[in-house]
Amino acid sequence: MTLSIAEALKVYPRETLTRRPTPLDHLPQLSEELGVEFYIKRDDLTDLALGGDKPRKLEYEIAKARADGADMIVTCGSSQSNHARLTTAATLKLGLDCSLVLSRDQHKAFQGNLLSVVLMGPDIRFVETADHWDLESQALELCEELRSQGRRPYYIPVSGTTPLSCLGYVEAGLELSQQIEGEKLEFDAIYTPFGTGGIFSALLLTLRAEGITSALQGISVNRETATCLENLEEWWAAISNLLNREEDGQRGEYAIHDEFIGQEYGHATDEGLDAILLMAQREGIFLDPVYSGKVFAGALAHIEEGRWIKGDRILMVHSGGVPALFAYQDEIWDHLKKRGQIPSEW
């Protein structure tokens, strides 16, 4: 007999890095303006080191690291990596050391995530690279160096997405399903970021297993749709295997959109910045230029197209990343000037 997802999760050890559940909030001012009922799942409000999605993932990954006898975590990312910030905080909370391999990129300013990371004091190695997704070889070389010194490092890849860490968003899917059922809600669409694809894949599998049929909309922040779909297949198979479920489970309605990326990963688009301004000025909620701003921009574009109409309920999963706002201060200032929101006397 196939175990329920909740029962299957119990097999895997998990550390506790954040309180849950995170809020599921209706946004009345925004709903009135957009003509749809707009809700937000506040995973920016996880309570580890300024919040975000990573603690859910790290709870499973670091539990395995400790079970394997690791005494430190090694990971990598961009200079403004949310994952680096939250991995560093998680290791401190659990009594482990941390080494980071970060790209020396255009946002390497002592601001936002980098400032937060430096305050926490991990070992940081900066690397010249055109793409922070290519840092794995340097991170693995660092692991070998540390082993030669008698350390026991555990490597977590860029963004922290592994089959095991996806279980954090399987659990989040169960949490969201309970909130939807408890509040007797039905959503026409649920918007999530699609970076590596772990959040989207885990939520899609879990929500379908729990009978939630809302159309899942993934907004890509870095890859073309074809590559995202390949990642979905990879994560779907891996999560199904961990949970001892058949891979041919129903997926229902879903789509992945790559037209909101901009020039590249991390590029602050006009549409994304407009979305950040709208959310801030209507609801006092901050989004970021890399992930959540683009997710909201995608939802806004679809509402404008008439894909969702008056009376529809739309949910956006806010995965965090807000500290990056401060590293994009120049782009935001220029955008505010362009939109006429900076007084000339300033």
Predicted confidence (pLDDT) per residue in 254-278, tens digit: 999 999 999 999 999 999 999 999 9
Name the helix (H) or strand (E) containing 81: none
Distance (Å) of CA 183 to CA 22, 179, 187, 313: 14, 6, 12, 13
Structural domain spans, the chain: 5-51+163-338, 54-160
Residue 1 has pLDDT above 70, yes or no: no
Residue 253 has pLDDT above 90, yes or no: yes
* Residue appearing with tokens 């690791």: 70
Angstrom distance (rounded) from CA 6 to CA 175: 10
Q: Tell me if residue 336 falls in helix, strand or coil.
A: helix
CATH classification (class only), 54-160: alpha beta
Per-residue buried b or exposed e for 301-332, using 16+ beta carbons within 10 Å of the residue's own CB:
bbbeeeebeeebbbbbbbbbbbbbbbbbeebb
Name the helix (H) or strand (E) containing 6: helix 5-9
pLDDT in tens, 319-337: 999 999 999 999 999 999 9
Residue from 20, 18, 98 nearest 65 by CA: 98
Residue 248 has pLDDT above 90, yes or no: no
Angstrom distance (rounded) from CA 1 to CA 141: 44
Per-residue pLDDT band at 60 (split at 50, 70, 90): very high
Q: What are phi and psi of 153, to 5 degrees?
A: -75, 150
Residue 196 contacts by C-beta under 8 Å, 6 or more apart in sequence? 159, 161, 231
Check: CB of residue 54 under 8 Å from CB of residue 9: no
Q: Write down the catalytic residue from 78, 79, 81, 214.
A: 81
pLDDT at res. 143: 98
Per-residue pLDDT band at 163 (split at 50, 70, 90): very high
Tokens found for residue 261: 């990326």
Question: What is the mean pLDDT of the segment spanning 60-84?
Answer: 97
pLDDT at res. 132: 72
pLDDT in tens, 288-308: 999 999 999 999 999 999 999
Q: Do domains 5-51+163-338 and 54-160 have the same CATH topology?
A: yes
Tokens found for residue 29: 């001012």
Per-residue pLDDT band at 52 (split at 50, 70, 90): very high
Residue 175 contacts by C-beta under 8 Å, 6 or more apart in sequence? 20, 21, 22
Angstrom distance (rounded) from CA 5 to CA 260: 33
Residue 3 has pLDDT above 90, yes or no: no
* Lowest pLDDT segment from 60-64, 106-110, 205-209: 106-110
Per-residue pLDDT band at 116 (split at 50, 70, 90): very high
Rg of the chain, C-alpha, whole Å? 20
Per-chain mean pLDDT for the chain: 96
Residue 28 has pLDDT above 90, yes or no: yes
Question: What is the mean pLDDT of the segment spanning 71-90?
Answer: 97
81 is a catalytic site residue:
yes
Residue 344 has pLDDT above 90, yes or no: no
Better pLDDT: 249 or 314 = 314
> Chain centroid to CA 159: how far?
8
- Does the 5-51+163-338 domain belong in CATH 3.40.50.1100? yes
pLDDT at res. 19: 93
The CA-based angle 163-165-167, given to 5 degrees, is 85
Peptide bond preceding 21: is omega within 30 degrees of 0, i.e. cis?
Answer: yes
